Amino acid sequence: MTRRTWQVAIALGTACVATAAPAAAGGKLAALSLAPQARPLLAGRLLIRLPRVAKTEPLPYDVMSAPDPVETSTRYLIDAGPERLVVVAEELFALAGAELAQRAPLELPKPFQLAAANAHWEPVRVTRDKLRVLRVTPKTRDDHPQAILLEGAVVANTDGTVQTVAAYVNPRGARDRAGVAKLARAILATLAPGKRLLARQAGERRLALDARREIVATVPADVVLVRQDGPDFRRHSFYPLHPLGERRHFVQVLVDRHPARGEDGAQSTGRRSTVKGTLLGQPVVWTRWDWEGPGRGEVHVRGEVTLPGGGRFPAVVHAWSHARNAKEAALAKAILDSLRLATR
């Protein structure tokens, strides 16, 4: 089970544990009706109608981490006593193309992906706003001990990018499976495009460093920047939009106060080499791992520099990239080479 699967499962299970009660038939969720006002998904990329009791919470994270950025994931909790329905939306940073139905099963978040081989895929039109939607429902009964997938949707938005939305229920809510499945379908049927578009134009992107300085990056078109603020770090992720069905590649710049220790487990399995270069005008040793596992051909690159002059503790800038081929590696290198310091 992947990290994200555990996050959904734990979130669903919490409702059961926290509200221990005598066994009883389900049906409280099914009695809920949808509010007339739509709620945002992914900071306004999509809109959806939910019961009034729905509340938004980020996916669980540990004390040294941070919530996922609202631009990458949204989670709504809908509780009715010990019954819980969870709606999770994710941005894939992918382009739908003309073959949405053929390519969607190749790239789905877990546990969505686990159900893809045993699911019914049905194109549906949920609004009059030019959304293309694939409805995904398990062909067989899902009896996961905590997070039961009821239904999902793969959405090709009006700008051609792809998002996923899925509805899960806990075992208490699943006792009235027909009723809660009907609610999940009613919720997903209200999907509509939001007003927020991805910033896809070529040009400069500004990354906060400290009170006086910032990092400026130059990116080509269709590279999207997302920022994540942690307790003692700030992560900036560049996501080149990729054709749906091809795994995401990225460039990340993380600013904190701590030099790296050790190597990433996945990277350490690759063929390792180093090369000297510069990062933000400072000398750097880039470490490169050529993947030697099932994803042969993939390349990981990492380097870091310490920048004095930012206060009592100097800022440490970590930069790394993940690419699947030479073309993507060249794009990642161009972005990293473009990084420069500027005064605010």
The 10s digit of each residue's pLDDT in 133-169 is: 999 888 777 666 678 889 999 999 999 999 999 999 9
pLDDT at 128: 59
Residue 277 neighbours by CB distance under 10 Å: 14
> Does residue 263 have a pLDDT over 60?
no
Measured distance CA(59)–CA(230) in Å, rounded? 14
pLDDT at 262: 58
Q: What is the pLDDT of residues 195-240, one digit of tens each?
A: 999 999 999 999 988 888 999 999 999 999 999 998 888 999 999 9
Please state the rounded mean pLDDT for residues 255-273: 70
Per-residue pLDDT band for 341 (boundaries 50, 70, 90) equals very high
pLDDT at 1: 34
Domains, the chain: 3-193 (3.40.1000), 203-343 (3.40.1000)
Per-residue pLDDT band for 10 (boundaries 50, 70, 90) equals very low
Per-residue pLDDT band for 276 (boundaries 50, 70, 90) equals very high
Q: What is the pLDDT of residues 97-120, one digit of tens each?
A: 888 888 888 777 665 665 556 777
pLDDT at 311: 63
The single-letter DSSP state of residue 67 is P
Measured distance CA(213)–CA(70) in Å, rounded? 25
Strands (E) across 221-339 are located at: 223-229, 234-240, 242-243, 250-256, 271-279, 282-290, 299-307, 315-323
